[in-house]
Amino acid sequence: MSEDTSIFVDRSSSFESKAPAFEENTPEQQPRLTGSSRETGQSRSANKKGEGSSQVQATGDDRHMLESLKKIRDRALAGRRRAIADAFALADQCKAFGQRLSKAQLLAFIRNECRVSRTEANAYLLLADFAGPERADLERSAIEVGVLCRLAKQPATVRAEALTVLRSGRTLSLADLRLLRRDVLAGDARNSSQPDRTAINELKRVARLKAKDQVDRFILDLAGLANAFAALYNETTPEDCSAETLARVQALSVDASHLAKELREVVPAKVLTPSSSLGERSWITVQDTLEQIAEAKLCSMEGWCWPDVHPFWIDEHLHEILGWALGQEIPELAGRKRPVPNGGVALDRHPLSSASRPSAPYRYSVLELCAGAGGQAIGLHAAGFRHVGIVERNPEAASTLRANRPRWPVIEEDMNTIDIGRFEGVDLIAAGLPCQPYSQAGERRGSADERDLFDRTLEIVEQIRPKAVMIENVVGITQVTHAVRRLNVFSTLERLGYDTDWRVIEGPVFGLGQNRRRAILVAMRRGMMHRFRWPLPPEMAPTTVGTLLKDLMGARGWTGLDGWVARADGLAPTLIGGSAKKLGMDLAQPNSRKAWLEIGVNPRSVGKQAPDPDYLGIPYLTLPMLAQLQDFPADWIFSGSRQAQFRQVANAFPPRLSRVMGLAIQRALSGEEISVKTAIEAPLFKRIDLAELNLHMREAAE
């Protein structure tokens, strides 16, 4: 065993020798406290002789265990040291990149590409200021990277003291560093001309304790008033105007008057304002209720006021407000989501298996940009979003939208010139921006391509300030060649007050019959992103092309159908061809043509109809088949020429992927959880949607 291991063993043994002192012994286990030391020594010698073999075995086991513990310790320390070295390396590289990238772009890179938290991202730019000897000391200390980042933000005196502590062989936690900062800065203040704030801070601490006690007493007294109010309500009738009842009402009035005054002392009047974060109740309503009870206005009859001797009904609504203040369930709000203070949202982590959309659909509004033939719009509608505008400049695609959903607010305009001021306050902006600037077929010219609309979309976000943003594009935008473009998008959204995440979602894991992968950007107002999580794939069998298209392929009685279904036992390649510059109707580029042929599909063109009974050879897919591969509803009608219809289908964001993304964003907004599997197995449109009918009736009335 090495010297280091021996130290490890000795320390562990010293701790183990003290352990029995904390255990309770039975009478049989009590040690003998009398007798000579020689007797004790003889006893120990006998034990060694009688238990020698087992003692040797125990020592061997201990050595093996301690060797394992040492390896784990060394591995943990080495890992933290590597993490510190990597943090310094990243800081140095960012400092070097600072000559070509702005600070906002560097922070966007650290936060979004390297997935470093917001609190640590700025610190990484400061780590480069640590000198070589300091770095060596920090690596040897093996502190957590989070502590390292916090240390980088400290004043020079705090950093110097912390480094001295680490050089002494100690370590530091975040709590240690916080307390060290407090004490060092207090010492700095004492040795300077700055005033000593010790007494002031102590006064603040005592005041906080007094306020807490005052609130506790107030809540206790308020509970007494609420119980007395409930007893009066339950034990009297509308006709009861007895002296005893009058006395109880008067006692309530006196208590409520005291509590109303006490509430004004606990919370200043300027703070007693309605708060949207508390839902339909706030402390100003409690104040109003107490003042109403203080004036003996307990009746629900308008214009009636105690002590007129009329029969009365006690207004139970007053008791509900008192119940809200005490954290009790309010009958009229039963079943609704309980509000969370400070604008939070209660997250439902147990979805109802029968629900395929939120319980209150069309509560949240969406403005959709570059809608195309409606793939994204269908999915967001199915997820429960209410469209306030669907912008699409292509006449054929706009006609498709109107033909299928006449009530949808389709706006056939160019988003570069549209006046979007009327949409201020919308909850979600969803955009299916042109993919060609970032696709292989479009030569990946990025922002240099005239079809790129990211900058215009960000301008619209800045003007409207929605709660959430979702932008769909091809996977190519996540490649290294477009890294600077992504950083520009990240940094702009950061400046506008949004947290952003960009991920690739896979179509097949959600039951799509093609290998379609889409890059999705989700941005949310700061303070909301922690509630968003990317949709998790449900457990479901993959959908093969043969299974998906069997009915359409056999519509004309093709005798070779069964053989084709067996051959088409796989997924289709990603459907392409949505560019307006594309003149042909072929399905594949050279590298994907082989994949189409392997599943029994001729990708050179699009068929006009299903194979006839005697058809020989590899069949073509028809437009309805392609639409089904893209997950459009079977009755969705496409307008325009065959070429225009093909582009609309090929360019679409599959509705089921839009749906699961819409549900994920809905959960972040409302807290309501919906089962992804239940949702994607449900129809995209209800035959009779009462919620949608009511929505249209309200819109018509307005």
**What 3 state SS string does 666-697 have?**
HHHHHCCCECHHHHHHCCCCCCCCHHHHHHHH
- Mean pLDDT of residues grouped by 10 in the chain (702 residues)? 40 33 38 41 47 51 84 92 93 89 89 85 90 92 92 93 91 92 83 74 87 89 87 72 81 90 78 50 81 73 40 58 72 43 66 81 94 96 96 96 96 92 93 82 65 92 96 89 88 94 94 94 92 89 93 95 95 83 76 91 94 94 96 96 94 96 93 90 86 77 70
> Is 519:526 a contact under the CB 8 Å cutoff?
no
pLDDT given for residue 298 in this prediction: 66
CB 401 within 8 A of CB 632: no
Determine the pLDDT at residue 392.
96
Residue 184 tokens, joined = 């060092």
Burial class (CB in 10 A: 0-12, 13-18, 19+), 31: exposed
Q: How far apart are CA 548 and CA 688, in angstroms?
A: 26
Strand partners, 389: 367
Burial of residue 15 (number of CB atoms within 10 Å: 0-12, 13-18, 19+): exposed
CA angle at 530 for the pair 525 and 532, rounded to the nearest 5°: 85
Amino acid at 647: R
Q: What is the pLDDT of residue 454?
A: 92
| CA dihedral angle for residue 174, residue 175, residue 181, residue 186, rounded to 10 degrees | 170
pLDDT at 383: 95
Q: Which amino acid is at 168?
A: S
Answer whether 0.75 is exceeded by the pTM. Answer: no
Residue 323 CA to residue 529 CA, distance in Å, equals 32
Task: Characterize the bridge pairing of strands 385-391 and 428-432.
Answer: unpaired
Q: Which fold has domain 364-537+655-701?
A: Rossmann fold (3.40.50)
Question: Which is nearest to 63 in space by CA: 152, 1, 147?
Answer: 1
Closest CA to 568 of 590, 602, 601, 607: 601
Token pair for residue 494?
Answer: 């950061």
3-state class (DSSP) for residue 536: coil
pLDDT of amino acid 692: 82
Which of 250-275 are b and which e, b meaning 16 or more Cβ less than 10 Å from the residue's Cβ? eebbebbeebbebbeebbeeeebeeb
Domain ranges of the chain: 65-190, 206-330, 364-537+655-701, 545-650
Catalytically active residues, by annotation: 435
Written as one letter, the residue type at 322 is L
**DSSP reduced 3-state for 140:** helix
What is the pLDDT, as a whole number, of residue 191? 75
If you compute the radius of gyration of the chain from its CA atoms, what whole number of angstroms results?
35
693 Cβ neighbours under 8 A, 6+ residues apart: none
Alpha carbon distance 657, 382 (integer Å): 11
Task: Look up residue 686 and give its amino acid.
Answer: K
Residue 192 tokens read as 């300077």
Q: Are strands 385-391 and 364-369 parallel, antiparallel or unpaired?
A: parallel
Is-contact 390 408, C-beta < 8 A? yes
